[in-house]
C-alpha cells in the first residue's frame, strides 16, 4: 500500500473558549444573575420542600381556616381547610418544576432527533414537516383534553401533553440550524472526507447546534410552568389534594373575596418562576448571539 | 403563484386528513368499548346496539372511518350523551362567543403590541424601551387565568365596573355584550400582545438599520413617515405570521378565559365535556379545532404571500 493516507480533514469548528466567554457575558449581566439566583433558590426550596415546609401540605386544621398572612405559626396564612399556604406553595412549586422539567425533556427527546433528521436528510424533510404541521393542528389544551379523556388526568399526562405541544417549534428551530450547519465548510469537508451521516451529525452538527437547543430548552421551561398551572387549574393536571399552584388557584377562586391571599400568592409564585426562566433565557440568547448585540 | 397555492393547499389537505385519522383513532383508543362511552346512561343491550349502528361501530375500521368522515362532512358530529342535543347545534351556539372573544383579543393585542414594539424600537436605550420590554416579559410570564381571577376580584366584585360572569348576545344587546366581553378579551390578549411587541420591536430594529430606511431618511422624509411608511410596513409581515402561529395558544387561552368568566363558549363546552365524559362532544371539539387551525393557517400563508412576494418565489423554488 503505497497510497498516501489521506489525513483526516479537521477544520476547527468551535472557537476555543466559547464556553468561557459565554459564562463571562452572563456574569456581567445583572438581570441574568438575578434570575439565576431566583431559580437556584427555587430549585433548592423545591428539592428540600418535604423537610423545609413547616406543615404537611395536606394537613387540615378546621379550627384555623382562613387565617390571614402573618398569623403566628402560619407565615402566609391558611386556606379554606386550614392548610398552611406556605407549605402548599413550596410543594406546589416543586410539582411545577417537576412537570416543567419532564415536559421539556419530553419535547427535547422527541424534537431534537427529528429536527436534526429533517435538516440533514432531504428525503425525511417533507415527512417530518407534515408531522410538525399535524402536531401544530392540536393546540396544547386540546391535546391535553384528548389525553385526559383517553388516559385520565395526572401529573405525567399533563407533562406529556405540554411536552408534545412544544415539539413542533423545537423541530423547526433545530431543523433550520441543521440546514445552516450542513452548508458550512467544516461539515462539507467532513462529508467529503467520507464520514458517515451519523458521525457527521453526532460529531459536528449536534455539538454546534447545542446553543440553539439550549435556548429552546430555556424557552420551553416557563411555557411548561404556565401550562401546568393552566391544566391543574382546570382539573386536567395534578389531582387534589396533592398541592399544585394551579389547583391552589382553582380552589382559592371559590373564596377569593374572603381569603384573597390564597388567590394571589400562588399566581405570584408561578409568575416569578416563569419570569426568572424568561429573563434568563433572554440573557442566554443575547450572550450566545454572535452579533453580541442586545436584541 | 398558482403552483405555490396548489402545493400549500395540498399540504393543508393532507394535514387535515391526517388530523381526522388521529381524532378517529383517538376515539378508538379510549379504554373499553367506545359504544359504552358513546351511549352515556343508556347501557341496555338494545341501546348499545343502536349506538353501535349509529356510529357504524359494527363495521370494519376503514368502513367506520368512512362513516365518520361522511357524517362529519354533512355536519353530523353525533349527539351529546349529556344534553341529548346534536353536537353541531351545541357548537353553533358556542362558537360565535369564542370567535368574538378571540377576534377582539387579537385586535387589542395587535394594537397594543405593535404600538409598544414601535415605541421600544424608536426609543431604543431609553426608559420607554425598558418599560415596554419589562412589560412584555411580565406579559409572557403571568398566568392569564390568574390575571383573570384578580380582575374579577378587584375590578368586578370590588368596584362593580364589569360583570364578573355571564354573557349577552351581540345581536340582542351590543353594548351589554361589549361590557361582558371586554375584560375577558383584554386578559386573553395579554400574552399575544407581549409576543407581538417583542417581534415588532426586533423586526423594527432590523428595518430601522436597513439601507432603504437610511435612504428614506437621507432624502429628507420626516421621521414619522420613515417609521410609518417604510419601517413599520415591513415589520407588519411578522405580525401576520405571529398571529397565525399563536392561534393554537389563543384557542387554549380562550378555553381557560371562558371557564373563569363563565362565558358560554367553545372552551367551557370542552371542559364540561371532559368532566362529563361526553365523548362525542370531545371528538367534535378536537376535530373542529384542528380543522380551524389548519384552514386559518392556510389563509395566513396566502395573506403572507400576497403581502410579501419573496415568499411566493421561495415557495415555488
Interchain CB distance below 8 Å, A136 and B293? yes
Question: What residues 60-79 of chain A have any CB closer than 8 A to a CB of chain B?
Answer: none
Packing angle, helices A155-182 and A185-192, rounded to 10: 80
A11 interface with B at CB cutoff 8 Å: no
Closest chain A residue to B138, measured at CA: A275
Identity of the residue in A141, A148, A149 whose CB atom sits nearest the CB atom of B252: A141
pLDDT in tens, A184-211: 888 888 888 888 888 888 888 888 888 8
pLDDT in tens, B233-261: 777 777 777 777 787 778 888 888 998 88
Q: Which DSSP state fits B161?
A: S
What's the mean pLDDT in B19-46?
75
Dihedral, CA of residue A254, residue A258, residue A264 and residue A265, to nearest 10:
-100
pLDDT in tens, B101-125: 999 999 999 999 998 988 888 888 8
**What is the spatial distance between Cα B58 and Cα B61, in angstroms, rounded to a whole number?**
9
**Residue B73 neighbours by CB distance under 10 Å:** 8
Closest CA to A162 of A243, A101, A93, A235: A101
List the single best residue of A146, A223, A255, A261 to mutate versus B (max B Cβ within 10 A).
A146
pLDDT given at position B316: 44
> What 3-state DSSP class applies to B86?
strand
Residue B317 pLDDT level (bands cut at 50, 70, 90): very low
Q: Are A119 and A178 in contact (CB under 8 A)?
A: yes
**What is the spatial distance between Cα A262 and Cα A157, in angstroms, rounded to a whole number?**
26
Point out the least confidently predicted range of A211-220, B136-145, B150-159, B281-290: B150-159
Measured in whole angstroms, the distance separating CA B270 from the mean position of its chain's CA atoms is 14
**What is the spatial distance between Cα A54 and Cα A47, in angstroms, rounded to a whole number?**
15
A149 interface with B at CB cutoff 8 Å: yes
**What is the spatial distance between Cα A64 and Cα A79, in angstroms, rounded to a whole number?**
9
**Residue B146 neighbours by CB distance under 10 Å:** 27
* pLDDT over threshold 70, residue A292: no
Identity of the residue in A137, A148, A267 whose CB atom sits nearest the CB atom of B290: A137
A236 interface with B at CB cutoff 8 Å: yes
pLDDT given at position A291: 56
> What 3-state DSSP class applies to B162?
coil
**What is the spatial distance between Cα A259 and Cα A252, in angstroms, rounded to a whole number?**
8
What's the mean pLDDT in A150-178?
88
Residue A38 pLDDT level (bands cut at 50, 70, 90): very high
Residue A41 pLDDT level (bands cut at 50, 70, 90): very high
Question: Which three cell numbers, joined as nine digits, stand for B62?
Answer: 376503514
Average pLDDT for chain A: 83
- In chain B the domains, ranked by start, together with CATH numbers, are 2-73 (no CATH), 93-316 (1.10.3720.10)
pLDDT given at position A2: 45
Residue in this structure with the C-alpha cell 399544585, named with its chain if needed:
A244
Residue B86, φ and ψ in degrees, nearest 5: -60, 135
Q: B133 Cβ partners below 8 Å, 6+ apart?
A: B120, B201
Interchain CB distance below 8 Å, A150 and B270? no
Residue B173, φ and ψ in degrees, nearest 5: -155, 85
Residue A133, φ and ψ in degrees, nearest 5: -55, -40
**What is the spatial distance between Cα A237 and Cα A100, in angstroms, rounded to a whole number?**
12
Closest chain B residue to A246, measured at CA: B146
* pLDDT over threshold 80, residue A290: no
| Distance in Å, alpha carbon of B114 to nearest chain A alpha carbon | 16
| CB crowding A17-37: b at 16 or more within 10 Å, else e | eeeeeeeebbeebeebeebbe
pLDDT given at position A1: 41
* pLDDT over threshold 90, residue A76: no
Interchain CB distance below 8 Å, B18 and A134? yes
- In chain A the domains, ranked by start, together with CATH numbers, are 28-52+75-288 (1.10.3720.10)
pLDDT given at position A293: 45
Closest CA to B278 of B45, B84, B99: B84
* pLDDT over threshold 70, residue B178: yes
pLDDT given at position A295: 43
Interchain CB distance below 8 Å, A138 and B22? yes
* A chain contacts of residue B252, beta-carbon cutoff 8 Å: 139-142, 230
Identity of the residue in B14, B31, B259 whose CB atom sits nearest the CB atom of A234: B259
Closest CA to B264 of B83, B77, B92: B92
Residue in this structure with the C-alpha cell 359494527, named with its chain if needed:
B58
Question: Which three cell numbers, joined as nine digits, stand for A293?
Answer: 448585540
Average pLDDT for chain B: 82
**Residue A231 neighbours by CB distance under 10 Å:** 31
pLDDT in tens, A85-138: 888 888 889 989 999 999 999 999 999 999 999 989 888 988 998 888 888 888
**What is the spatial distance between Cα B272 and Cα B68, in angstroms, rounded to a whole number?**
23
Q: Are B244 and B174 in contact (CB under 8 A)?
A: no
What's the mean pLDDT in B159-163?
74
A240 interface with B at CB cutoff 8 Å: no
DSSP assignments along chain A, one per residue: --SPPPPPP----SPTTHHHHHHHHHHT-HHHHHHHHHHHHHHHHHHHHHHHSSS-TT---GGGTTPPTTBTTBTT-B-TT--BHHHHHHHHHHHHHHHHHHHHHHHHHHHHHHHHHHHH-HHHHHHHHHHHHHHHTS-HHHHHHHHHHHH-S-HHHHHHHHHHHHHHHHHHHHHHHHHHHHTSHHHHHHHHTT--HHHHIIIIIHHHHHHHHHHHHHHHHHHHHHHHHHHHHHTSSSPTTS--HHHHHHHHHHTTTT-HHHHHHHHHHHHHHHHHHHHHHHHHHHHH-TT----
Question: What residues 98-137 of chain A have any CB closer than 8 A to a CB of chain B?
Answer: 130, 133-134, 136-137
Please provide the distance, in angstroms rounded to a whole number, between the alpha carbons at the two ends of chain A: 57
pLDDT in tens, A1-36: 444 455 554 455 555 567 788 888 888 888 889 999
**What is the spatial distance between Cα B217 and Cα B211, in angstroms, rounded to a whole number?**
10
Regarding predicted confidence, which is higher, A176 or A78? A176
Closest CA to A128 of A108, A105, A145, A112: A112
* A chain contacts of residue B258, beta-carbon cutoff 8 Å: none
pLDDT given at position A203: 86
A61: left (phi over 0), alpha (psi -120 to 50) or beta: beta
Q: Which DSSP state fits B265?
A: S
Closest CA to B184 of B207, B204, B155: B155
Q: Provide ipTM, 2 decimals.
A: 0.82
What's the mean pLDDT in A202-224?
88
Amino acid at each position: 500500500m503505497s497510497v498516501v493516507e489521506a489525513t483526516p480533514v479537521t477544520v476547527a469548528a468551535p472557537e476555543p473558549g466559547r464556553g468561557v466567554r459565554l459564562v463571562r457575558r452572563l456574569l456581567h449581566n445583572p438581570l441574568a444573575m438575578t434570575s439565576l439566583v431566583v431559580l437556584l433558590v427555587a430549585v433548592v426550596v423545591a428539592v428540600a420542600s418535604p423537610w423545609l415546609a413547616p406543615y404537611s401540605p395536606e394537613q387540615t386544621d378546621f379550627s384555623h381556616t382562613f387565617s390571614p398572612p402573618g398569623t403566628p405559626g402560619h407565615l402566609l396564612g391558611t386556606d379554606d381547610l386550614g392548610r398552611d399556604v406556605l407549605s402548599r406553595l413550596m410543594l406546589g412549586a416543586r410539582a411545577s418544576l417537576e412537570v416543567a422539567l419532564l415536559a421539556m425533556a419530553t419535547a427535547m427527546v422527541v424534537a431534537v432527533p427529528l429536527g436534526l433528521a429533517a435538516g440533514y436528510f432531504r428525503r425525511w424533510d417533507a415527512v417530518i414537516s407534515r408531522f410538525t404541521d399535524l402536531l401544530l393542528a392540536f393546540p396544547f389544551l386540546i391535546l391535553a383534553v384528548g389525553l385526559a379523556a383517553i388516559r385520565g388526568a395526572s401529573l405525567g399526562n399533563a407533562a406529556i401533553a405540554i411536552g408534545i405541544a412544544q415539539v413542533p417549534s423545537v423541530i423547526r428551530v433545530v431543523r433550520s440550524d441543521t440546514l445552516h450547519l450542513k452548508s458550512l465548510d467544516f461539515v462539507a469537508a467532513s462529508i467529503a472526507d467520507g464520514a458517515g451521516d451519523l458521525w457527521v451529525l453526532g460529531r459536528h452538527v449536534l455539538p454546534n447546534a447545542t446553543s440553539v437547543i439550549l435556548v429552546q430548552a430555556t424557552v420551553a421551561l416557563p411555557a411548561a410552568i404556565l401550562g401546568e398551572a393552566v391544566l391543574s387549574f382546570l382539573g386536567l393536571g395534578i389531582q387534589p389534594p396533592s398541592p399544585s399552584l394551579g389547583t391552589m388557584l382553582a380552589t382559592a377562586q371559590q373564596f377569593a373575596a374572603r381569603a384573597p391571599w390564597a388567590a394571589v400568592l400562588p399566581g405570584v409564585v408561578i409568575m416569578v418562576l416563569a419570569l426568572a426562566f424568561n429573563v434568563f433565557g433572554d440573557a442566554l440568547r443575547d450572550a450566545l448571539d454572535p452579533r453580541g448585540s442586545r436584541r | 403563484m398558482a403552483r405555490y397555492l396548489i402545493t400549500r393547499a395540498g399540504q393543508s389537505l393532507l394535514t387535515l386528513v391526517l388530523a381526522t385519522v388521529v381524532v378517529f383513532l383517538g376515539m378508538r383508543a379510549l379504554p373499553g368499548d367506545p359504544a359504552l362511552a358513546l351511549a352515556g346512561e343508556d347501557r341496555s343491550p338494545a341501546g348499545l346496539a343502536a349506538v353501535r349502528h349509529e356510529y357504524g361501530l359494527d363495521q370494519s375500521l376503514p368502513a367506520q372511518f368512512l362513516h365518520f368522515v361522511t357524517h362529519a362532512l354533512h355536519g353530523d358530529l353525533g349527539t351529546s350523551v349529556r344534553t341529548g342535543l346534536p353536537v353541531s347545534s351545541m357548537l353553533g351556539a358556542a362558537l360565535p362567543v369564542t370567535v368574538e372573544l378571540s377576534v377582539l383579543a387579537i385586535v387589542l393585542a395587535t394594537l397594543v403590541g405593535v404600538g409598544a414594539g414601535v415605541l421600544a424600537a424608536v426609543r431604543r436605550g431609553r426608559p420607554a424601551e425598558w418599560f415596554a420590554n419589562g412589560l412584555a416579559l411580565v406579559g409572557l410570564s403571568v398566568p392569564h387565568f390568574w390575571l383573570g381571577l384578580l380582575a374579577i376580584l378587584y375590578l368586578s366584585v370590588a368596584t362593580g365596573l364589569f360583570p364578573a360572569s355571564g354573557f349577552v348576545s351581540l345581536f340582542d344587546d351590543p353594548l351589554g355584550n361589549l361590557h361582558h366581553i371586554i375584560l375577558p378579551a383584554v386578559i386573553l390578549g395579554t400574552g399575544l400582545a407581549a409576543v407581538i411587541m417583542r417581534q415588532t420591536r426586533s423586526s423594527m430594529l432590523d428595518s430601522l438599520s436597513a439601507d432603504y430606511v437610511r435612504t428614506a431618511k437621507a432624502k429628507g422624509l420626516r421621521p414619522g413617515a420613515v417609521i410609518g411608511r417604510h419601517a413599520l410596513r415591513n415589520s407588519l409581515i411578522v405580525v401576520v405570521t405571529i398571529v397565525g402561529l399563536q392561534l393554537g395558544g389563543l384557542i387554549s387561552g380562550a378555553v381557560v378565559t371562558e371557564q373563569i368568566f363563565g362565558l358560554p363558549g367553545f372552551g367551557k363546552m370542552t371542559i364540561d365535556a371532559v368532566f362529563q365524559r361526553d365523548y362525542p362532544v370531545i371528538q367534535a371539539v378536537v376535530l373542529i379545532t384542528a380543522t380551524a387551525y389548519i384552514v386559518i393557517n392556510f389563509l395566513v400563508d396566502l395573506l403572507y404571500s400576497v403581502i410579501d412576494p419573496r415568499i411566493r418565489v421561495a415557495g415555488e423554488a
